[in-house]
Amino acid sequence: MASQHYPHVLVTGANGFVGAEVCRQLLNRGFPVTAAVRRVTEFSGSASTSYRQVDMGELGLGTDWAVALQGVEVVIHLAARVHVMQDVFKDPLDEFCRVNVACTETLASAAAAHEVKRFIFLSSIKVNGEQTAGAPFREQSAPNPQDPYAVSKWEAEQVLRRMSAVTGMEVVILRPPLVYGPNVKANFLRLLRWVDQGIPLPLASVQNRRSMIYLGNLVDAIVTCIDHPAVAGNTYLLSDGEDVSTPELIRQMANAFGKAARLWPLPVIGLRVLGALSCKKSEVDRLLGSLQVDSSRFCHDAGWAPPFTLQQGIKQTVDWYRGEFGR
């Protein structure tokens, strides 16, 4: 019986939140991995003969991908400029496009020249918009990017589609919503801290629905895309498949901490006023608004089901938080 062939995979952004776990899972499953990183660091899989790191420094239009692409059959492109709270650039869109569009095009062009078979691109549900009203986003939903990050991801998707049409390199585009899990940062980490500290939160009256995806589920979906024949050339929306309201999410966090959720009701209009007065409008909008994702097409095409439930994902995230910040 012939042994299974595991394609050699290049992972960009390999020391990031998603990238490090992608590398870990690939190595655990037997894939040879080249990790493109800004600087070489210690990594739990670094002793493996199937793993190498390539120091790429800051990505730019002149980045030479030749060494990183040696022997590579599949590229998983995770490196990106993400949301910046206080952007120092006069033209944020220009900087987002420089990194997320132009650098993606440079890498994809080099990958095609090195006869890479498949290019997996991590985009964002923000390409579809910031909120849903009634119906969830689906693959056929019209793009509606509303900030420089989202615009740059949408433009990068179009660049990759054009390049695939010209070169024949297979492209798979994935648009996840908020990703949570061990090592999460930003607003999700802040919410964990509030729940852990028992801070009363005026969110009991919120009746929204939001899709998220646990890191383990996202990584499993990405790995599934490496060699599944049915996903080539497609764009997919991903999620845990379990939508929750903000109060339900807080209750699940509190339960994982073994604590009571301290929620009290404040009318939504009052919350919006507080958000505007505190210059936290976008953060409050995310707590109050709905953003639902229908991931059924990927589940159907790839024969995929999320390996972790929302409850399991929240518990593992809380367990990590306790290990890092527990009192």
Q: Which residues are catalytic?
A: 149
Cα R_g (the chain), whole angstroms: 20
Return the exposure string of 316-326: e unless at least 16 CB atoms fall within 10 Å of the residue's CB, then b: bbbebbeeeee
**Residue 167 belongs to what H/E stretch?**
helix 148-167
Q: How do the residues of the chain divide into helix, strand and coil, expressed in percent and rounded to 5?
A: 40, 15, 45
- Is residue 52 classed as helix, strand or coil in its secondary structure? strand
* CA–CA distance, 244 with 283 (Å, rounded to integer): 17
What's the sign of the alpha-carbon dihedral 268, 135, 159, 19? Answer: positive
47, 49, 51, 56 alpha-carbon torsion, rounded to 10°? 90
